[in-house]
Structure 1
Amino acid sequence: MFLMKKIYFLCTGNSCRSQMAEGYAKAFLPQNKFEIRSAGVEVHGLNPDAVKVMLEDGIDISQQYSKKIDLGYFKSSDLIITLCGDAKDKCPVISAETQHLHYPLADPGNAVGSYEERLDVFRNIRDKIKKIVLSLE
């Protein structure tokens, strides 16, 4: 019997980075082989700029929503990917049997400057996340 591999993307507020990663993973990884979720150590709501830059790349995450870490899913995950130091430091202890990857990406929600400059920060983080997800295939 084949069991689906569970992947959990984590960041601080589950508003930008982990949401983008979940969107890409659901688009690029075979749905019959992977169960993909995202969460945060806090709940900040889905950032509309994350939705906007993902749509620019053909991925609609507008129906996703911000969630706190589900301990049951966390403990049963095969791969946990933390996308910031805050999530790595504050998430529950990851068991030795669980694969863990860490990428210290800046929170695009904290970007400053004009609206277009802030969107460019979102695009830069989006592109880094896309490469991370594509490397999972």
Structure 2
Amino acid sequence: MNEKKRVLILCTGNSCRSIMAEALINAKLGEHVKAQSSGVKASGVVNPNAQTLLESRGLWRDEYHSKVIETLIDEEFDLVVTVCDHAKETCPVFPKVVKTIHVGFDDPSGKAVPEYAITLDLIEKELLPVIVKEFLL
């Protein structure tokens, strides 16, 4: 079997949207794609509402945590996806040339709990087909 494609999901704080995208990609496309997430200014903390939602849907893994881009900058990725405008504007240059795309989502942080589910569902509806198209079609 071919090696899994590697995707980096990049956000500002790496506490909510990028972690949700990482979890969804690994759960739904994990046979072919390995996702990791990071933040350009990582908060160091996973948003508790995002974690609770991922746990309730069976998507959470204990390995998920908020991390700074410097911890992953030397790894090779097949694709980098920015999921917030700030990360898109400040996306670092990777040592190896890598395709970078932007699929943005509003940050549910600080909003009512149902907003997290809306964001997760949008990520699944809008980002997963892009990943499938990129690697699996």
120, 123, 126: which is aligned to 1:126? 120
1:13-43 deviation per Cα after TM superposition (whole angstroms, max 9, x unaligned): 1100000011111111134x32211000112
How many residue pairs match? The answer is: 128
Aligned counterparts of 1:30 and 1:120: Cα–Cα separation in 2: 26
TM-score, normalised by the number of residues in structure 2: 0.81
| Structure 2: runs of 5 or more not aligned | 133-137
Deviation at 1:4, TM superposition (A): 2.7
CA contact (8 A) 2:19 2:37 kept: yes
Q: 1:93 to 1:63 in 2, by over 3 A?
A: closer
Aligned counterparts of 1:7 and 1:109: Cα–Cα separation in 2: 23
1:4 aligns with 2:20: no
CA contact (8 A) 1:20 1:61 kept: no
TM-score, normalised by the number of residues in structure 1: 0.81
SS in 1 for 2:2: coil
CA contact (8 A) 1:17 1:107 kept: yes
Aligned counterparts of 1:110 and 1:91: Cα–Cα separation in 2: 24
1:115 equivalent in structure 2: none
SS in 2 for 1:127: helix
